[in-house]
Amino acid sequence: MAYENLLYEKRDGIAFVTFNRPKVLNALNRKTMEELQHALLDAQGDEAIRVLIVTGAGEKSFVAGADIGELSQQTPVNGKEFSLFGQSVIHLLETMGKPSICAINGFALGGGCEIAMACTIRMASKTAKLGQPEVKLGIIPGYGGTQRLARLCGKGVAHELCLAGEMIGAEEALRVGLVNHVFEPLDLLPAAETLAKKIVANAPVAVKYTMEAIERGIEMPQEQGLFLEATLFGLACATEDMREGTKAFLEKRKVEFRGR
């Protein structure tokens, strides 16, 4: 697929997905979401890819929200389909079995904030601004914002951000748990790559099962979540990587995981 609105490259086990519409602050339109879906499916199916880094082109914006011109044309029927399609793409990002690091380099508003919340880990530049301003346009978040924000930061934070529609800065986002780390702008991508390489060095199946235990377990009562964890622990014990990891530790040598 020829990408028009994304930059998509792969190196050293990392897939880099960069929203690339800087003239409109990387606003999301249907074409961009279709390209994102294609890139995610490609990364999911590539065994060499172990981690994704998702960011935006330019210095001002990660993703500033939806393309308002396109959004303004939605009807009740089209609007529901518009929302469901976007939700499906973002759900793929969240559940593809490979961790994603969102490097938020500026505005992450509306759909941009929703994409960031679906990533496994969020890192923000000190210049970042995050929010769900949809009520200011007469609509509500449609790509999962009402659901993921409440789960990440609690109902109180979700209500305040979604009802007031105001942006918050990176430090406030860190305080409420919306981002994991805050960096100087020039340090953001290097920090994301450093973390990605740490994840790449670990056993692929163990990383996948750990993510599954957290993502699915958080939606379960604790007793069921613990049972899921024990089941996945047992499956991990059946892998070649488990044998290699424990053997390398005992032999005091460098481990060589193969993802099996």
pLDDT tens per residue across span 73-94: 777 778 888 889 999 999 999 9
State how far Cα 21 lies from the chain centre.
19
Q: pTM for the complete prediction? A: 0.93
With CA atoms as reference, report the closest residue to 22 among 64, 69, 66.
Answer: 64
Catalytic residue set: 114, 134
Identify the DSSP state of 124. Answer: E
pLDDT beneath 70, residues of the chain: none
What tens digit of pLDDT does each residue of 220-251 get? 999 999 999 999 999 999 999 999 888 889 98
Bridge-based pairing of strands 129-131 and 181-183 is unpaired
Residue 25 Rama label (left phi>0; alpha psi -120 to 50; beta):
left
pLDDT for 79 equals 81
